[in-house]
Structure 1
């Protein structure tokens, strides 16, 4: 095959592959979905794949079993390499067979490889001979003109698509940076809150312990002061039972009550001792 025809086959099969993908998506999704990597109506992987298959496997066109097996090997290899390359270049997995049994890295799987093999046999045996006859009817100058026109359009499409993907990746990167900054700020705030809470709890615990110790100390001092009432105080309380101070009324009342309870306790103890002595 002449080079201009090979290039035209690439565009023809790329377009037919795009139509196949759109039809498959229409049945599956019930709506139009542009399944191509590019914006235009072409799937380059189909163009490259079919051209390689018809170029390399045409000698085996009459050996159906071998043709099928070789088609599987070629299409599977091409699909894996394409998926891997796109993934590494643009950091996106454009298709994923991870949930399909017997897959390799999610790029290829046995069920689809078997389907591609059958499709290639159909193309080599039926489709390509018809397209080959049609292409040979086109004048050479017109074929070259079509190749140039399609080549320019796909070059522009690739440029626009790659630029859009890179811009999209930059946007995702910026969004990731913003999200990471949000996370960093949230983590910092959370860490500060946690630190403050823990320090506050520890400080509160220390203060509580110190307070309790001080309270015990003060309680002891308070009780000591209550017990340490001199005779003059006792006498005054007994002498003036309705006495009301102008200052420290609460403490005066507590002291008065303490002395009264102490006096009652002493009185009860004396009474008990007297009764016990009498019983003897």
Structure 2
């Protein structure tokens, strides 16, 4: 039990440190705070898993810094690639995309990030992990176990909430696509009906328009109201969009682009009101 809790604490601490690095890097580039993480809490699990993989898989080459750098870059890049692949398969969303960077593989990993991961792996093995290991050894085992249990429960709750949020986004994109498709079909049907009546008398055309106008207007108003409701974002959904501005959807990319555009417009209006 003590060993399992210790491993989890390593995972948790490195996830938090990874979140700090990722958030600082993105916030400096955006010149505003960006909670850069899949979860709502201040941690990036991919960094925690990456750190554990480096610590245990690279142990035989600890004495060779160059090998640690290269192997660390490879191990962490494979992990990032698999993470991106699984997220795409599970949610139909691509949360990050490195397609515009040189030497990328399907936009999931790129050379620059791999080199940075190799450097972080070297720092982890040479400096960070020995210090952290020594610090945790000074804490009573019962306290480590209690901390691990509490943090694990919090992590599970955060994971459940985040997964639900991402599934809501994915489902909402599909619903928006259906509403837009029905609106387009109704507009096309209206034009088609008018075209059929074009050669008839004006009185017949006017009568036909009156018959259909009220029904069509009511349904279109319902669809537009539903569309407006779907485009309304909740706080956690806004956080996901802000954390992953390059998010892509395999099935509903056009709808996602419109979603992002409306979100940006709302942010601009809020900024203008504050200024």
Q: TM-score, normalised by structure 2?
A: 0.69
Determine the C-alpha separation between the residues in 2 that align with 1:162 and 1:97.
Answer: 23
Query: What is the match of residue 96 of structure 1?
Result: 97
Determine the C-alpha separation between the residues in 1 that align with 2:74 and 2:109.
Answer: 11
How far 1:75 moved relative to its partner? 0.7
How far 1:189 moved relative to its partner? 2.7
Of the two structures, which has the highest relative contact order with CA contacts closer than 8 Å and spacing of 6 or more? 2
Query: What is the match of residue 137 of structure 2?
Result: 136
How far 1:194 moved relative to its partner? 4.9
How far 1:61 moved relative to its partner? 1.4
Query: What is the match of residue 58 of structure 1?
Result: 59
Count of equivalent residues: 199
Any residues of structure 2 matched to 1:89-168 within 5 Å, and which? 89-168=90-169
Cα-Cα RMSD = 1.7
Determine the C-alpha separation between the residues in 2 that align with 1:49 and 1:187.
Answer: 53
How far 1:196 moved relative to its partner? 5.3
Determine the C-alpha separation between the residues in 2 that align with 1:12 and 1:194.
Answer: 67
Determine the C-alpha separation between the residues in 1 that align with 2:13 and 2:110.
Answer: 26
Question: Which protein shows a greater Rg?
Answer: 1
Query: What is the match of residue 68 of structure 2?
Result: 67
**Equivalent residue of 2:18, what SS?**
helix
Determine the C-alpha separation between the residues in 1 that align with 2:13 and 2:195.
Answer: 65
Determine the C-alpha separation between the residues in 2 that align with 1:120 and 1:194.
Answer: 68
Unaligned runs of at least 5 residues, structure 2? 201-275
**Equivalent residue of 2:143, what SS?**
helix
Query: What is the match of residue 3 of structure 2?
Result: 2
Determine the C-alpha separation between the residues in 2 that align with 1:185 and 1:165.
Answer: 30
**Equivalent residue of 2:19, what SS?**
helix
Unaligned runs of at least 5 residues, structure 1? 201-280
How far 1:195 moved relative to its partner? 5.3
Determine the C-alpha separation between the residues in 2 that align with 1:127 and 1:141.
Answer: 24
How far 1:60 moved relative to its partner? 1.0
